[in-house]
Structure 1
């Protein structure tokens, strides 16, 4: 199937820095990922968490840019995304924003990396943020599983340490700590330890020139030793472990140590094969043996020839661990040296080309950090991985259950964990395993699908440069059980097909509410109609057995999952669809799948409800508290919409600076203009380890009260700057995916397509008086909707 295959371009600078760039002609945003080749395993053992601490400090002001003018404030002001993460052997700094602001954002990024202030007062405040993160991570069940698997490794490897950092390890008052912090920064934050990847609409040579000109600010480095060589992962010191846990589960870990420089490509191929639900594969065999229904994999650690993998079997019990081990080993032994691996690699590479088409600039910049490898090396290392797995020398079995266990003394976090006597794998019947290399969707073959019922459809042309198309569906569901259980059942029913789509570049998101389900698809236009013909019928069949909802992990994420229930849409009575970027042939193919097609009519506007403060409690375990406050628009006209959107653009950065930077209330928070189902308005969110839900609400209310004085101080130039940052986000002539999202949200809100242009026109005429009027409307709290982890009377 023909597809645009972006060509990476590479440049090695005299300073030692490496650049990789890719042009996405259809993109309107630019994405960047700067990787520093040092992480938590390179920090001094005396100060666990120092590397992560430094990552945070770098955002708190640099020589040329104070915090309110730095990278985070700049990117957020232009409606972009910015983040950073510290891994074992590297630290990533990423952002995405309108392409015309790429140079300004890169300038701020490089200044903060090379010339941070590292002020002591800021360190003291930020240490409290990391201490709160440490407490949350130490209670997170998923993180404890990872930490427990690390205890099986050979003594001395830092994968067995919990390197989060808290008040006891981040002793900022100590002169020795300050020397260690500055030494770490000077040693590792040098050009020769950095790789910068850029993706945007600009030609590749232009992206390379932009990056090279700006990277000159970085110190090249003085030739000091590179990252610390890792200790051996093997031999395992405890191949079988038992963790005291609230559920009887079993997990497998796979520790591998090979004599090779890079395991990225062979690991991708291995994980792809492990999860493939096709007949003859591991997952299909485990289902036939009634050992599990699903298999999820992830990489916990990867550096040069070392890796630690985690295999999850969500519905398997601890008693099935031996049988699961035996099946995995037998599968690997059968495929070791098999010719199917070469065909699978070709199939995987075809799928990767399509997958690139659907990536955002930021996601593509992340992927560029792992350049392509020689096919021969990939197959050789894959064969070595399979051989290790077949021998079982690095295979870890972690049983979980409610039986009490003594504390296992681990660095950073003790666990109720105990080593078990090694038991042989259970015998398993001989099977003929194989790797599937056929994918009807990829081959362009006709795909059998059920006829879709009457559908109301609307199609919009795509942008001239191409890019991924987008297709939205909304339909009714039937069955017994609450919304969360129905959603879990539909997700489980469609899991195999969604996995197939995602590996072909079809980003798939399914949400279920009382009014119906909503499905968004983004990916190569030729694949979307056939994929819809397979997936949509699965969602229309009644649910007989609701499933148990998956754990949401972070408390704030759990509340966000429930937020749409506060703003329900009219019930879906038929199938509705909207597309952007499908060609005439794809539109015709989609119409052929439906028994009948009619034009998509607008939904009725969501009514405004004067209810005061409508507070809903969602009880969640854990020590933190969290709260979402959604304030719907008081009217749906374009002038009100524009004023509230501009108000959201102004307060989002201030909210972060005030509640996180100054008050130190929490580490997970955001604010801004959002749409929840059919309601548009302002959303404020905060998770806090230091105050309860009622206190969070009081702080948000106080923050909103304070904004009137700030708004009154704005001059015309400041309003113009905020307006200029917002306008590109409202431009309908943008990439297919954001345009489709805008049009779909307008449909759900019952607003005409012309609403966007009307909002743009209203925005151009807004004054400070209009902002003050919008702020006054907001404070009336006529229809505030709160979703919190506790009742309002908890304080």
Structure 2
């Protein structure tokens, strides 16, 4: 369902005493859960007011925890804006019990885990996951952040620099810029108008002592147990989890913090309607209409804004989007609640415009108002509510568990708003049809209550916000003008009809014989089947590969394949959208092997969707207007790729240097611009004439399903299939450094250093993986926390098939690229000389073994693993087992020799990709690579079938 997670503006995030805990009404099975959920739940409230949900998952390989504080930038003092965010940074830098800064991060990483935190308007959330056998020690360190953090003075300046680097890194991010304009237009007395990220100026970095005092006062006042919620998942029993978790968090102090709803209106009465023009960094055009509405949280059993957003954001026949596409004015549309807080919310409709649509913004706005009026007059129907409620209930009843780290974050935040009993079901529950409530909310969505923003190049502007270098202007518009727009021609626009894709058969298939995917012998092409017997859901995923080396032989063929698939997806959008609402989705993509189709969700009607998809793929509707719109959209994507943050651009450039069939950005763009619909049509026919088919059914399927779906394929596609397989080529780097410069429109420098192992195979991969795990936390701590090079600092493993590699990435506002490269190199040489003892090796090896041995966390993860193995040449589906075996056999002596060979300065096989930022004369060490295609053509390559 297309609810707006964020409309145009929002992308965008010590005196402690010990106290005993007293569980208030421990309730096993108090949390309502789907029948397929085999985990056990317990809700507990401690004596200090902290609410806790414990989840026992006996088979879990990963444990996880999240603590949510119902405090965020809303509570920032007006003269210390960004303080809540700054506190989030400072909290990780040592506690009384664990004073070493970076120790928590190092422990999590060494034991196969990850960690992070975020600050939003009303929430600050801290979370981690870790190997299941290491939960208690990690939780003990985690709990101390909320019991006795040090907030050492020595780190104040360093972390305020980190906050400033984070702000600067996204200074040209359009969502941040549009949010800044929005904040400048709302009621200045509303707390959302504050600058939530913070920088050197708003945090008064010139007075560290005063800043630290503000930090301590904020923590004492706001980090109170009674507004905290905690979720923990572990493999221990509920009783064991309770004995582990509760004593650690019973010491969190309760300051009895009370949070009242915000009564200050988001907009003053005279401020609306208002129209704002904004010039973006990227080549994008959007029209957004937002309505301040009442807080809908108390109506969580009716979900009025979900209902309204579902209908206005519908993409089926007769929808607002369908009408806009038919007129050539829009590429996409989203509708729903984009922002809510205690006391109010914002409901928005966001339209991605075509160039033609930019000339018809008044007409589009009128259609939006007419769509709302149509819903108000004719669309408040009980059967529509019942259909939405039924689909939501199906989603709940057959919910695929997300990864543990995502689950704990979602649940800890939900626990702030929902009764514990409804923690899982609450987000899906719609059991109270209240038409008067829908009428009330729709009555707030009027022209005179509109905040309109038009984002496009060359719009009229007359003001700017220096903090984000964004120019904007106000367009004079009166209530009568807006009302007059609502007389737009709405011919063809209708309310959604009954959804024909709603599943009704939820029976489960039983696996026969050995576990794991098996190739069937009675099908006309290669078909694999894995009948799931782990997750017990009436769902599955079908993968179908149309293998052809003609799909991506060069930039021209890749560009044509991209546009062909875009045509098919756009053509099918009206059909597939109701299927998506009913829990059935599909994807089309092109890769080095050819065209890949993926269908997932309830398995009952996958055959119908597959037939429609293949029919359209074989013989698309070649409409010139659609082709022109999609080609223009694709060209904008290339333009915008060059306007992303520097670190994103250098990361995107690396596979263009390594993968033989991946064209350079320039060549890909030129090929797209030079092709036409006739050429794309001919290309599609050429590819389809000689495809090799491979299919995997993974989930709630049996052999009869496999045979049936295979017959759907052969009834649509040609019977004469080609033989043979495609090959993938990965650049084989020589010793030395090859340097590639990209040009990003940003003052920050960004440097990516990729190191390729001299060997290929599983041993090389696990050796590089182990090296990455051993140094990643320390690399981050030394170069970000200690040296303050920038906000984006990362070291990670970067394998390409069996070609092992490491990637080091820094975006810096303070150093030129040559100096950043020198810092990376110096760190590596220092680490080689002092960070490679055998005890550390053994600890990290054990953690990586646990991580590699982790079982899939849900049905989709399992299917994805099987498909990747099949595509990469592991028909026994044992790639992880092979990695585990290689790692077990890897001795400290062997690993040390490999690490010294591949990381030592004189032995490095490196690619350095960089953006110079404001240091154009700075040149990193190494030989210029030239364009990616030229670079790849003069070097040998590893070949993989």
Give the shorter-chain TM-score range.
Answer: 0.7 to 0.9
**Paired residue for 1:386?**
442
Q: Please report how far the alpha carbon of residue 378 of structure 1 lies from its aligned counterpart in structure 2 after TM superposition.
A: 7.4
> Do the aligned partners of 1:355 and 1:505 also contact (CA within 8 Å) in 2?
no
Q: How does 1:371-770 map to 2 (within 5 A)?
A: 371=418, 372=426, 375-376=431-432, 381-390=437-446, 392-398=448-454, 400-403=456-459, 405-407=461-463, 415-423=470-478, 424-425=481-482, 426=485, 427-430=487-490, 433-440=494-501, 442-443=503-504, 456-460=526-530, 462=532, 464-466=534-536, 474-475=545-546, 476=548, 478=551, 481=556, 483=558, 487=562, 490=565, 493-494=568-569, 496=573, 512-513=590-591, 516=594, 546=631, 547-548=634-635, 550=637, 551=640, 553-568=644-659, 574-578=692-696, 580-581=698-699, 583-585=701-703, 586-595=705-714, 609-612=732-735, 613-676=737-800, 679-712=803-836, 714-715=837-838, 717-731=839-853, 733-735=855-857, 737-738=860-861, 740-746=863-869, 750=873, 753-770=877-894
- 1:594-645 per-residue CA deviation (whole Å, 9 max, x = no partner) reads 3289999997686672434344443322222323333333323433333222
**Paired residue for 1:284?**
322
**Paired residue for 1:449?**
none
Could you say if the C-alpha distance between residues 22 and 254 of structure 1 is closer, same or farther in structure 2, counting changes exceeding 3 Å?
farther
> Do the aligned partners of 1:155 and 1:237 also contact (CA within 8 Å) in 2?
no
Could you say if the C-alpha distance between residues 765 and 244 of structure 1 is closer, same or farther in structure 2, counting changes exceeding 3 Å?
closer
> Do the aligned partners of 1:508 and 1:521 also contact (CA within 8 Å) in 2?
yes
**Paired residue for 2:68?**
35
Q: Please report how far the alpha carbon of residue 303 of structure 1 lies from its aligned counterpart in structure 2 after TM superposition.
A: 0.8
Give the Cα separation in 1 of the matches to 2:772 and 2:586. 28
Could you say if the C-alpha distance between residues 140 and 535 of structure 1 is closer, same or farther in structure 2, counting changes exceeding 3 Å?
same
**Paired residue for 1:243?**
278
**Is 1:326–2:366 an aligned residue pair?**
yes
TM-score by length of 2: 0.73
Larger radius of gyration, structure 1 or 2? Answer: 2
Could you say if the C-alpha distance between residues 513 and 680 of structure 1 is closer, same or farther in structure 2, counting changes exceeding 3 Å?
farther
Q: Does the residue aligned with 1:165 lie in a helix, a strand or coil?
A: coil
**Paired residue for 1:360?**
403
Give the Cα separation in 2 of the matches to 1:751 and 1:459. 15
Could you say if the C-alpha distance between residues 288 and 209 of structure 1 is closer, same or farther in structure 2, counting changes exceeding 3 Å?
farther
**Paired residue for 2:152?**
119
Deviates more, 1:382-391 or 1:604-613: 604-613
Q: Please report how far the alpha carbon of residue 126 of structure 1 lies from its aligned counterpart in structure 2 after TM superposition.
A: 1.0
Give the Cα separation in 2 of the matches to 1:31 and 1:502. 30
> Do the aligned partners of 1:614 and 1:784 also contact (CA within 8 Å) in 2?
yes
**Paired residue for 1:4?**
36
Give the Cα separation in 2 of the matches to 1:488 and 1:557. 24
Q: Please report how far the alpha carbon of residue 48 of structure 1 lies from its aligned counterpart in structure 2 after TM superposition.
A: 0.7
Q: Please report how far the alpha carbon of residue 78 of structure 1 lies from its aligned counterpart in structure 2 after TM superposition.
A: 2.7
Q: How does 1:242-261 map to 2 (within 5 A)?
A: 242-245=277-280, 247=283, 249-258=285-294, 261=297
> Do the aligned partners of 2:542 and 2:600 also contact (CA within 8 Å) in 1?
yes
Q: Please report how far the alpha carbon of residue 302 of structure 1 lies from its aligned counterpart in structure 2 after TM superposition.
A: 1.0
Give the Cα separation in 1 of the matches to 2:921 and 2:732. 21
- 1:191-234 per-residue CA deviation (whole Å, 9 max, x = no partner) reads 1111223456666676566543432121122x344367352113
Q: Does the residue aligned with 1:295 lie in a helix, a strand or coil?
A: strand
Q: Which runs of 5+ in 2 are unaligned?
A: 1-33, 419-425, 507-522, 663-686, 925-945
**Paired residue for 1:181?**
215
TM-score by length of 1: 0.86
Q: How does 1:203-352 map to 2 (within 5 A)?
A: 210-221=244-255, 223-226=256-259, 229-234=262-267, 235=269, 237=271, 239-245=274-280, 247=283, 249-258=285-294, 261-262=297-298, 265-297=303-335, 300-316=338-354, 317-336=357-376, 338-339=380-381, 340-352=383-395
Give the Cα separation in 2 of the matches to 1:439 and 1:155. 48
Give the Cα separation in 2 of the matches to 1:524 and 1:46. 53
Q: Please report how far the alpha carbon of residue 732 of structure 1 lies from its aligned counterpart in structure 2 after TM superposition.
A: 6.7
Give the Cα separation in 2 of the matches to 1:108 and 1:318. 54
Deviates more, 1:23-32 or 1:535-544: 535-544
Q: How does 1:183-202 map to 2 (within 5 A)?
A: 183-199=217-233
Give the Cα separation in 1 of the matches to 2:437 and 2:764. 60
Q: Please report how far the alpha carbon of residue 457 of structure 1 lies from its aligned counterpart in structure 2 after TM superposition.
A: 4.2
Q: Please report how far the alpha carbon of residue 329 of structure 1 lies from its aligned counterpart in structure 2 after TM superposition.
A: 2.1
> Do the aligned partners of 1:456 and 1:597 also contact (CA within 8 Å) in 2?
no
> Do the aligned partners of 2:733 and 2:756 also contact (CA within 8 Å) in 1?
no
Q: Please report how far the alpha carbon of residue 112 of structure 1 lies from its aligned counterpart in structure 2 after TM superposition.
A: 1.4
- 1:683-740 per-residue CA deviation (whole Å, 9 max, x = no partner) reads 222222223444333332222222211244x13x332211111012222754455555
Could you say if the C-alpha distance between residues 588 and 74 of structure 1 is closer, same or farther in structure 2, counting changes exceeding 3 Å?
farther
Match of 2:108 among 75, 78, 81: 75
Q: Does the residue aligned with 2:48 lie in a helix, a strand or coil?
A: coil
> Do the aligned partners of 1:89 and 1:303 also contact (CA within 8 Å) in 2?
yes
**Is 1:785–2:911 an aligned residue pair?**
yes
Could you say if the C-alpha distance between residues 536 and 4 of structure 1 is closer, same or farther in structure 2, counting changes exceeding 3 Å?
farther
Deviates more, 1:622-631 or 1:503-512: 503-512
Q: Does the residue aligned with 2:799 lie in a helix, a strand or coil?
A: strand
Q: Please report how far the alpha carbon of residue 539 of structure 1 lies from its aligned counterpart in structure 2 after TM superposition.
A: 6.5
Give the Cα separation in 2 of the matches to 1:667 and 1:688. 7
Could you say if the C-alpha distance between residues 649 and 536 of structure 1 is closer, same or farther in structure 2, counting changes exceeding 3 Å?
farther
Aligned pairs, number: 783
Could you say if the C-alpha distance between residues 630 and 310 of structure 1 is closer, same or farther in structure 2, counting changes exceeding 3 Å?
farther
Deviates more, 1:327-336 or 1:629-638: 629-638
Q: Does the residue aligned with 1:294 lie in a helix, a strand or coil?
A: strand
> Do the aligned partners of 1:356 and 1:364 also contact (CA within 8 Å) in 2?
no
